[in-house]
Amino acid sequence: MYEQFFGFREKPFSLTPDTEYYYRYSGHQEAVDVLRVALRNGEGFVRVIGEVGTGKTLLCRQMLKVLQADCETVYLPNPLLTPKELYQAIVSELKLTLSDTATVQQLNQDILQELIRLRDRNRPLVILIDEAQAMPFKTLEALRLLSNLETEKEKLLHIFFFAQPEFEQRLEKHELRQLRQRITFSYALSAMTQAEVQGYLEHRLKTAGYVGTAIFQDAATRLLYAASSGVPRIINLLAHKALLAAYGKGRSDVDASLMEAAVADTVGDARSGSTSAPWASLQRVFLECGLILLVALVTVLVLRGYR
């Protein structure tokens, strides 16, 4: 659409998680450091918590790339599994022979034998679970039981949870108290600062093949930051729409007016990203002001009717 106009190889602000576009802003880099330290210290369970749109899936996939040189990895993007389906998914990811008739106990034994082989090769197994807040209680408990596969001196299995804040509430449930006690490392993803938003835009444009002067004017970037609260998914959405608006007008840059058009075209829930976003409070203010004006207008009309 606008790729050729701007000289992009592809759309720079796609909502699809793509590790080629991974940007090492402070929140994500600190999360990577925490995960690496936890793995180095032999911790069994680690959780990374982040609001919707903060890039948990992208971070999860980036960790897969980072870990593959030294670890065996299993990626579970769909947590809606029964305990048996969980074990089957792990066996499948490890490329072990998977029998349709295998029991949970047999699957457990297959995983244990593979863990021992991996230990002999000095390649710990790391299971990365995306959207962990949706995993059923029984499956979480099955995961905890699987973590009991360890030697007297070391853990053979490491589990990284990537989840929305609701996961914290689920862990408070009595049924998961043993799992809660085993999660020793935790990190809460933060949004980007305004300076990081500027770097993020430049990084994605460059990765998409752009060569030239800055496309987003400073005023547009400030507005983008205010409207998105630094949430990556919302930044991508608004930046994409602003580029569309610029393309439609034959503009080679994005100013504040074009960014305002992108924000105005975005549904309130999508652009707020979270309840803490400034747009949510601004919308309430506009609504309250409108109601006050409406009441005042009705009052004036009523009073005039009595004259």
pLDDT digits (tens, 9 = 90+) for 6-29: 999 999 999 999 999 999 999 999
CA 10 to chain CA mean position, Å: 22
Residue-level pLDDT at 251? 96
Tell me whether strands 125-130 and 157-163 are parallel, antiparallel or unpaired: parallel
Write out pLDDT tens, residues 256-276. 999 999 999 885 545 444 434
pLDDT at 290: 46
Residue-level pLDDT at 287: 45
* C-alpha to C-alpha distance for 74 and 92, rounded to whole angstroms: 9
pLDDT range class, residue 1, cuts 50, 70, 90: confident
pLDDT band at 138 (very low <50, low <70, confident <90, very high): very high
pLDDT tens track for 148-179: 876 656 778 999 999 999 999 999 999 999 99
* Domains of the chain, CATH where assigned: 3-18+192-276 (1.10.8.60), 26-188 (3.40.50.300)
Distance (Å, rounded) from C-alpha 46 to C-alpha 228? Answer: 28
* Alpha-carbon torsion angle 106, 111, 112, 115, nearest 10: 170
pLDDT at 277: 41
Q: What is the mean pLDDT of the chain?
A: 87
Please write the tens of the pLDDT for every residue from 186-218.
999 999 999 999 999 999 999 999 999 999 999
Q: Residue 184 corresponds to which tokens in the numbers above?
A: 């020793």
Can you say whether the dihedral through the CA atoms of 80, 81, 86, 91 is positive or negative? negative
- pLDDT-derived band of residue 42, with 50, 70 and 90 as boundaries? confident
Q: What is the C-alpha to C-alpha distance for residues 107 and 104, in angstroms, rounded to an integer? A: 5
- The pTM assigned to this predicted structure is 0.82
Q: Which pLDDT score is estimated for 155?
A: 78
pLDDT for position 151: 60
Q: Which burial class, exposed, middle or buried, applies to 282 when counting CB atoms under 10 A from its CB (0-12, 13-18, 19+)?
A: middle
What's the average model confidence in pLDDT over 45-73? 94
Q: What distances in angstroms separate CA 279 from CA 17, 267, 283, one per listed residue?
A: 25, 11, 6
